[in-house]
């Protein structure tokens, strides 16, 4: 039987999520890649225990995380039932709906029917009465924003989620959604978007600026650019890497010689700072007061422990920040 470390709150840093009262750990655990049915269950347990013992209180899921879709929630639900559930009031558990989850016209996008049904399914898989944050996972061009936001509002007011969040939205759409949710008096507090040294989309699409102006938090997923901001690709594409696989979010053609050259230059800068490239990439996000938390998707306890070292040095000199930008040009 798992017993949490009594020292679990001594090293982690916590920040308010935007203007809300909710505090989130600076590093959170994402269950996107390593909690499906193809992964080792005992390793999942060890990852969750190490995370919580290190002060990581937030565990991030979505309805379709797997493989198979739903299996990450099911496996995390088992961990809650067998071990972590006694600490439920110390946990921030989040899930999402927006991508394809089941066949037919009602298992995708942002309709009221889909979102309400999906969360009910998620709660059942995890054995929970509520999640702390429920996100709409992506913008839906064919459903009125009022309908999608109305569904989030009902979910919160029914007690099935404590807060609402938006994922993969741009700045303009987020501002419109925020106005609707404000009128409904729904506690929308956070945006989840891909953000890292390589991917600056939220700087260019207005999301980062709009979040600051609206008093909303930002949580970054893919902070290591699907592994590119680690030492994995310093010498090309390893056989067992994500880029070597025909399926997945990182394709071989994305890891160009030019990109590998930049990775090597960033790695050299990280060494000068006394960090690994992964630590520096996480620290680059952690230095930004507008980023509430970063989601790491560790595949091993050793990897998670290494990621947490980024908290020890997230201060950059002006010269270091300029060096990073010059490498990217």
Longest dimension (CA), the chain: 53
Q: Is residue 258 part of a domain?
A: no
What pLDDT does residue 240 have?
A: 60
Tokens 């797997």 correspond to what residue? 66
Give a yes or no: residue 47 inside a domain.
Answer: yes
Alpha helices in 16-160 (DSSP H): 41-53, 71-82, 112-126, 145-157
Report residue 285 as tokens. Answer: 């996000």
CB distance 233 to 207 below 8 Å = no
Structure confidence by residue, pLDDT tens digits, 212-263? 999 999 999 999 998 899 998 888 666 665 554 544 555 556 678 889 899 9
For residue 252, what pLDDT is reported? 55
Read off the pLDDT of residues 258-278 as tens digits, 9 standing for 90 and up: 898 999 999 999 999 999 999
pTM of the model: 0.95
Q: Give me the domain span that covers residue 196.
A: 14-225+287-312
- H or E element in which residue 27 lies: strand 27-30
Question: Of 213, 200, 142, 116, whose CA–CA distance to 174 is shortest?
Answer: 213
Q: Is residue 64 part of a domain?
A: yes
Residue 208: inside a domain, yes or no? Answer: yes
CA 46 – CA 137 distance, rounded (Å):
28
Number of domains in the chain: 1
DSSP E strands in 85-216: the ranges are 92-97, 131-136, 161-167, 188-194
Please indicate, yes or no, if residue 268 is contained in any of the structural domains. Answer: no
Within a domain: residue 88? yes
**Is residue 307 situated within a structural domain?**
yes
Under-70 pLDDT residues of the chain: 236-254
pLDDT at 82: 98
Examine residue 106 and state whether it is found in any structural domain, yes or no. Answer: yes
Return the CATH number at 27: 3.20.20.100
Q: Which two tokens stand for residue 158?
A: 């029914």
CA Rg value for the chain? 19
Q: Report the C-alpha gap between 139 and 99 in whole angstroms.
A: 10
């Amino acid at each position: 039987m798992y017993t949490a470390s009594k020292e679990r709150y001594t090293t982690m840093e916590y920040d308010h999520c935007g203007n809300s009262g909710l505090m989130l750990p600076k590093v959170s655990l994402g269950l996107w890649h390593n909690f499906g049915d193809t992964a080792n269950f005992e390793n999942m347990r060890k990852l969750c225990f190490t995370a919580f013992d290190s002060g990581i209180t937030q565990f991030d899921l979505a309805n379709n995380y797997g493989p198979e879709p739903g299996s990450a929630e099911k496996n995390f639900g088992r961990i809650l039932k067998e071990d972590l559930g006694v600490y439920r009031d110390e946990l921030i558990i989040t899930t999402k709906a927006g991508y394809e989850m089941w066949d037919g016209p009602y298992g995708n996008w942002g309709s009221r029917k889909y979102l309400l049904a999906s969360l009910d399914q998620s709660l059942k898989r995890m054995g929970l009465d509520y999640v702390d944050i429920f996100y709409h996972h992506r913008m839906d061009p064919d459903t009125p924003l009022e309908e999608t936001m109305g569904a989030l509002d009902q979910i919160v007011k029914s007690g099935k989620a404590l807060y609402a969040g938006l994922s993969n939205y741009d700045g303009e759409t987020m501002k419109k959604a925020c106005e609707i949710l404000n009128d409904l008096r729904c506690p929308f507090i956070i945006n989840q978007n891909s953000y890292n040294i390589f991917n600056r989309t939220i700087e260019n699409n207005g999301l980062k600026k709009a979040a600051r102006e609206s008093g909303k938090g930002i949580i970054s997923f893919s902070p290591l650019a699907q592994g590119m901001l680690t030492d994995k690709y310093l010498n090309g594409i390893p056989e067992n890497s994500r880029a070597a696989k025909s399926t997945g979010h990182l394709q071989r053609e994305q890891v160009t010689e030019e990109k590998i050259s930049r990775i090597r230059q960033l790695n050299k800068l990280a060494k000068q700072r006394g960090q690994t490239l992964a630590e520096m990439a996480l620290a680059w996000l952690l230095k930004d007061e507008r980023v509430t938390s970063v989601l790491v998707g560790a595949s091993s306890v050793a990897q998670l422990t290494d990621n947490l070292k980024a908290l020890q040095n997230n201060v950059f000199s002006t010269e270091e920040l300029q060096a990073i930008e010059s490498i990217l040009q």
